[in-house]
Amino acid sequence: MAATGSAVGLGNIWKFPYIAGENGGGAFVLIYLVCIFLIGVPIMMAEVMLGRRGRRNPVDSMKHLAEETGHSPLWKFLGWIGVTAGFLILSYYSVIAGWAISYVFTTASGAFTGANAALVGNHFDELTQSPFTLIFWHSIFMLITMLVVARGIEGGIEKAVRFLIPSLFVLIIVMVFYAMTTSGFAEGVRFMFSSDFSKISTEGVLKAMGQAFFTLSIGMGAIMVYGAYLPKDISIAKASFSIAIADTAVAVLAGVAIFPIVFANGLEAGSGPGLIFVTLPLAFGNMAFGAFFGTLFFILLVFAAWSSSISLIEPAVAWVIENKGVSRVKASIALGFFTWFIGLGTVFSFNEWSNSTLFGKTFFDLLDYLTSNIMLPLGGVLMAIFAGWLMKKSASHDELAVSKRAYTLWRFLVRYVTPVAVLLVFLNAVGVFS
């Protein structure tokens, strides 16, 4: 459930629907599902396996496994890529999650009731233009994240995900039932599941591959550190498939919940990132019981972000505990404060520093580009290479504990298919194909 919480995040509810909307709906969803099971699941199995075999934080696990297989201890830098990426992602993820917390209270207050597009747009602009407001909500989100992490594995993370994940599914199902009552439900479902492959381009396929890779939280050390906590008698293959199915279910259900509301209100399905923070508040403000269901929706968004944020910081916390000999509470406070501090750069990117760029990008854009387009794909490719080519066959077979036919299929995918696919995603992200 912790790994499912890591995988299910803002990307499922915020990003997946608008990417599907921009790329033809059902055809994109179908390609995305194929990519999940040909790219995402094999690398996830590899990452969980490396974590359980190493039984340490990602850095020390990779160093230990490299020594076990007779390879260079420099492979520990694969662990560092993941730990650093997760740490940096949380610094800006927290700011965006703070927007969602803010919208819970704004929507509940009825501020969007009867609002027009100009009012909703102005609210979003006012929010992002106020550094103090963004810092406040960013601080609240970091605080609730670190409170869970500081309480440890059983007392914090396990208890949190036992509440968050079932609650998340209940909330999204309530939203789907509500969507069923709208006039746009049939059109929304048709949009999600009818396949028009004429609308799919090479760019769309690469986006589906990229979303399949990123949505499962692969390459950032989170799945590896959870693998280190996984008991020996738990099937890695079953766990990985369960996580992928739950993650995909949330993404698809989010689309089923969102698109009927979009179509019922005559809004644009492919309206980009603004779909969540500009388009939907407008829709909720002009429908029956909109304040109630809008509030539910943003609570859902906060829960999804919260379950993911815990996993983003856990690899770094685990490394500090194991290598510096400090308590979990002290490690959590120190790393939480450092992450919060870096997050200030993202806060100011939307206002005070919006005209200050490096390589043509704001601080936030640069962090997002560095982590999503370089660090995570690089980590994923290296993980596949290590698990498929360098790790002893007997060791990987022993850890996966699957049938010979299933193991042969996994080994083929992780050696030949997934590295090439992730490399294509990487090349597309850095603009090679543009």
Q: Which residue in 115, 248, 243, 255 sits closest to 184, CA to CA?
A: 255
Give the residues across from 361 on adjacent strands: 358
Please identify every stretch of the chain with a pLDDT value under 70, giving residue numbers as ranges: 269-274, 434
Segment (H or E) for 388: none
Residue type, 272: G
Break the chain into its structural domains and give their ranges: 2-429
DSSP 87-101: HHHHHHHHHHHHHHH
Q: What is the pTM of this model?
A: 0.90
Predicted local confidence at residue 190, as pLDDT: 87
Tokens standing for 240?
Answer: 């990985």
Predicted local confidence at residue 270, as pLDDT: 66
Q: How far apart are CA 310 and CA 300, in angstroms?
A: 16
Predicted local confidence at residue 108, as pLDDT: 96
| Backbone conformation region of residue 325, classed left if phi is above 0, alpha if psi is from -120 to 50, else beta | left
In sequence order, which ranges of 16-158 are alpha helices (DSSP H)?
16-22, 26-35, 41-54, 58-68, 76-108, 117-129, 131-150
Q: How far apart are CA 92 and CA 370, in angstroms?
A: 12
Q: Residues with Cβ < 8 Å from 285, sequence gap 6 or more?
A: 112, 113, 114, 115, 120, 291, 294
Helix/strand/coil for 358: strand
**CATH, domain range 2-429:** 1.20.1740
DSSP 3-state percent helix, strand, coil across the chain (nearest 5): 80, 0, 20
Predicted local confidence at residue 312, as pLDDT: 93
Phi and psi for 276 in degrees, rounded to 5?
A: -80, -45
The C-alpha angle with vertex 386 and arms to 381 and 392, in degrees rounded to 5, equals 155
Query: How far is residue 399 from each of residues 80, 101, 162, 235, measured CA to CA in Å?
Result: 23, 41, 26, 9
Tokens standing for 36?
Answer: 């999940």
Do 426 and 377 meet the contact criterion of CB atoms below 8 Å apart? Answer: yes
Predicted local confidence at residue 107, as pLDDT: 95
Do 11 and 211 meet the contact criterion of CB atoms below 8 Å apart? Answer: yes
CA dihedral 91, 93, 99, 105 (to 10 degrees): -100
CB neighbourhood size of 427 (10 A): 14
Query: How many residues does this entry show for the chain?
Result: 434
Predicted local confidence at residue 201, as pLDDT: 82
Predicted local confidence at residue 272, as pLDDT: 62
Task: Read off the pLDDT of residues 205-214 as tens digits, 9 standing for 90 and up.
Answer: 888 888 888 8
Tokens standing for 57?
Answer: 């934080």
Predicted local confidence at residue 223, as pLDDT: 93
